[in-house]
Structure 1
């Protein structure tokens, strides 16, 4: 930055400082520059001038070099003298992406087949909802409902919050304490036993504790017969065959949605295999941290420790971290690829599309749509939603151009891919409920949307330049050696 370009900012700095200091013999605001240099130091004046001038120069450099920032810059002022100012800005920028051809990509997914066993499972679940319980005078067996009192202790001391009284529990269902099913099986009303287990929440998660359980009642579940009378009781159908056909159709719609989602992800994965995208490590690290924290929060809410989760998934810590890293890298790469396709195809967004996307996102998070929209506008998250829609359109574009077949060689229907790239249940959409079905572009296509639109990039550059310029100029003034 030549000195003549810095001079207006330097003059403004002298004027501003003259208004702030009192010097005997001079009126406020009329202190000459040479006096200010003696009183506060020229370095301080230069620092203030740089703070004012540097953000604009930095933004000009970004535009001239057609760079989109992804991080705040580290600014190093390398020269500062009467000839002008020279600085280096180091930052992560959006990588250049060469889009491979996506016409005619061929992928194969599994067949969307509904088995008789799956239909029977759904019907059995319906029968359980209409089942009745009756007391029995015998030991508890698998499938029975028992009423239990439970107390956990550690080293003979009761554990606060680890007591239950009068709780109904179905033997064999699991999902509570390891060992509970084995402990209560064979016990009659009034019987007690002890066993060792591990709590799933609290300060003692993962530690062995002693559990005392008492069965106070045993009930046997009686299920209704699977016949026409049951069909009339449990549904709007008159016959069991009509109910069975409806269950099969509903399961089929779900299978077709799963199949379309698998096809969508397979197409994107295959396209990613054809392109090399240099990933900014700082962005990958930030996304890794966010994903890890999200998983830990979800586990905590579910009352499960990380070790219990790893045991359930049959993974070691290293395997979990490697898998998470691979998924995050795929996610970041997919964002860049879809952003470039959206830019190349010059996709636009209608207000109606944004409104529908806001509503779906609100329904996904269980929030009131208006409150969700107000929050997104207030916190300037709309550019992120816009980018999600654009990525969805890019994904829809490559899926439409692909050849997708199932394992039997039949073409796969992806007409339930919405214009923004999300999936919807056609029957539900026709009924006006667009929130049903798989409503994600793809985990790695939507997650962690960055504000890479031009306006957002400019705002990010302004803010980051302001902060870095302040830090660099302050350090320069303190050191007095023209080094930030």
Structure 2
């Protein structure tokens, strides 16, 4: 077999392949065997029909077509390996010449990873938010904890914001009560915004036994998106009572004996959270600077596929879980279809560039992924997916996605290398040292995943 490579542009090549006919022998034998099992010819047992009879009855062309379809992937892969190409996606194959008992010639156009030159990144400088935990931050944290330990007690008065009301609901569309439009004994905190639009105004001022009617657009159910006439009846009004902020509360809500100890722990936890946010911010901004330094051509077909994947995931997964369609989502976001398309394309380009650049860094820095690192990454991914580690691991193996996970870990390590080499200062002008963070590579991996979110480029590689 002979093959030659023609570069069409930085991200696409054309392979020209010439295959001597004798190299088709195995595929021809397999074609005759397959056809033998599929057809019957009077006078011959199934599977025992001579090749010349198959040629006469069904045509040599049918055999050649079956053989070529069987052989093409093997010859294509061989040509790719000989040329040491890093291909992306599926090739567009064109058989240019097929002469029986002489030759098979074909071309294959396919996207390839562009060659990327990684410049010196040690000069990257970024600024991040300074870590500051104020007294107000601590008070807010403690107040949120206090809210969780609130109790309720029935009251004989009109309902007001913050009260917990028990209500019955009935929704009508075009005068007809919906089958799924009746609910009894629903507990609702006025002002929480957790039910229908307009319900806060409707129940405020009502006492137990009172009812009101209002119009609201349904967010789910059989009449999702339609305006409904909703009747709400209040069966009980209860006031929320917050515990006193004292040492007794600290002992009730935590492992601490005093309120001061509880506040000190809240301050420490808030500082840890802000440190994590600061590290994430540093990684995001270093990544932005790195991408600005590198010229990365993006394959058109890969970009098209990535854009379509992002749109599909948004419409059929994320929005579906929220009970929204794309039109409603854009209305809420205040975006036009054109703005959404442009934003999606921009995000897709960034995701692809991120993978290309960091993969090149993995090679340049000779970074490897240990079994321990892969296991830790799998545990984190399992936790975020809501699956057990065993379930997630099984899904990954069955889906052939282990290389994808390895790639995610390696890219996280590559970004961590760049962050460590960069100069990071906070808004106070102080140098931020992230090198002591044991979870730096893991956090960087999460930053990479966010940048390349829903990217299936790795899966598309041949």
Measured against the shorter chain, the TM-score band is 0.7 to 0.9
Q: More deviation in 307-316 or 362-371? A: 307-316
Task: Tell me if the contact between 1:133 and 1:222 (Cα under 8 Å) persists in the aligned partners.
Answer: yes
Seen in structure 2, the aligned counterparts of structure 1 residues 279 and 77 have a Cα distance that, compared at 3 Å, is same
Q: Over aligned residues, Cα RMSD in angstroms?
A: 3.0
Of 223, 235, 240, the residue aligned with 2:254 is 235
Task: Tell me if the contact between 2:154 and 2:236 (Cα under 8 Å) persists in the aligned partners.
Answer: yes
What's the CA shift for 1:449? 5.0
Task: Tell me if the contact between 1:152 and 1:163 (Cα under 8 Å) persists in the aligned partners.
Answer: yes
- Cα-to-partner distance string for 1:34-75 (whole Å, 9 max, x where unaligned): x76555434334334433443332123212333222211121
What's the CA shift for 1:247? 0.8
Aligned match of 1:348: 368
User: Are positions 1:17 and 2:32 aligned together?
Assistant: yes
Residues 351-390 of structure 1 correspond to what in structure 2 (within 5 A)? 351-390=371-410
Seen in structure 2, the aligned counterparts of structure 1 residues 38 and 311 have a Cα distance that, compared at 3 Å, is closer
Seen in structure 2, the aligned counterparts of structure 1 residues 51 and 419 have a Cα distance that, compared at 3 Å, is farther
Of 268, 271, 276, the residue aligned with 1:249 is 268
- Cα-to-partner distance string for 1:76-100 (whole Å, 9 max, x where unaligned): 1112236522211122222222223
Seen in structure 2, the aligned counterparts of structure 1 residues 118 and 159 have a Cα distance that, compared at 3 Å, is farther
User: Are positions 1:134 and 2:141 aligned together?
Assistant: no
User: Are positions 1:7 and 2:22 aligned together?
Assistant: yes
- Cα-to-partner distance string for 1:189-220 (whole Å, 9 max, x where unaligned): 11111111111112433222111111111111
Distance 2:169 2:19 in 1: 81
Seen in structure 2, the aligned counterparts of structure 1 residues 416 and 201 have a Cα distance that, compared at 3 Å, is farther
Aligned match of 1:47: 65
Seen in structure 2, the aligned counterparts of structure 1 residues 45 and 214 have a Cα distance that, compared at 3 Å, is closer
Aligned match of 1:170: 189
Seen in structure 2, the aligned counterparts of structure 1 residues 22 and 151 have a Cα distance that, compared at 3 Å, is closer
Seen in structure 2, the aligned counterparts of structure 1 residues 45 and 148 have a Cα distance that, compared at 3 Å, is closer
Aligned match of 1:96: 115
What's the CA shift for 1:139? 1.1
Aligned match of 1:280: 299
Residues 35-434 of structure 1 correspond to what in structure 2 (within 5 A)? 37-81=55-99, 84-296=103-315, 297-415=317-435, 421-423=441-443
Task: Tell me if the contact between 2:213 and 2:229 (Cα under 8 Å) persists in the aligned partners.
Answer: yes
By relative contact order (CA 8 Å, sep 6+), the higher-ranking structure is 1
Secondary structure of the structure 1 residue equivalent to 2:441: coil
Secondary structure of the structure 2 residue equivalent to 1:209: strand
What's the CA shift for 1:5? 2.7
Q: How many residues align?
A: 441
What's the CA shift for 1:445? 4.0
Distance 2:349 2:307 in 1: 9
- Cα-to-partner distance string for 1:4-47 (whole Å, 9 max, x where unaligned): 8321424762686389386989xx979576x7655543433433
What's the CA shift for 1:281? 2.6
- Cα-to-partner distance string for 1:228-272 (whole Å, 9 max, x where unaligned): 232222222222222112111111111111111111011111111
Q: More deviation in 46-55 or 14-23? A: 14-23
Seen in structure 2, the aligned counterparts of structure 1 residues 284 and 163 have a Cα distance that, compared at 3 Å, is farther
What's the CA shift for 1:330? 0.6
Aligned match of 2:15: none
Seen in structure 2, the aligned counterparts of structure 1 residues 45 and 150 have a Cα distance that, compared at 3 Å, is closer
The structure that is strand-richer by fraction is 2
Q: More deviation in 388-397 or 55-64? A: 55-64
Task: Tell me if the contact between 2:20 and 2:104 (Cα under 8 Å) persists in the aligned partners.
Answer: no
Aligned match of 1:482: none
Secondary structure of the structure 1 residue equivalent to 2:293: coil
> Gaps spanning 5+ residues in structure 1: where?
425-437, 461-484
Seen in structure 2, the aligned counterparts of structure 1 residues 445 and 289 have a Cα distance that, compared at 3 Å, is closer
Seen in structure 2, the aligned counterparts of structure 1 residues 39 and 214 have a Cα distance that, compared at 3 Å, is closer
> Gaps spanning 5+ residues in structure 2: where?
3-17
Distance 1:246 1:40 in 2: 82
Task: Tell me if the contact between 2:351 and 2:452 (Cα under 8 Å) persists in the aligned partners.
Answer: yes
TM-score, L = length of structure 2: 0.86
Seen in structure 2, the aligned counterparts of structure 1 residues 268 and 439 have a Cα distance that, compared at 3 Å, is closer
Seen in structure 2, the aligned counterparts of structure 1 residues 117 and 311 have a Cα distance that, compared at 3 Å, is farther
Aligned match of 2:10: none
Distance 1:415 1:233 in 2: 39
Secondary structure of the structure 1 residue equivalent to 2:384: helix
Secondary structure of the structure 2 residue equivalent to 1:91: strand
Secondary structure of the structure 2 residue equivalent to 1:177: coil
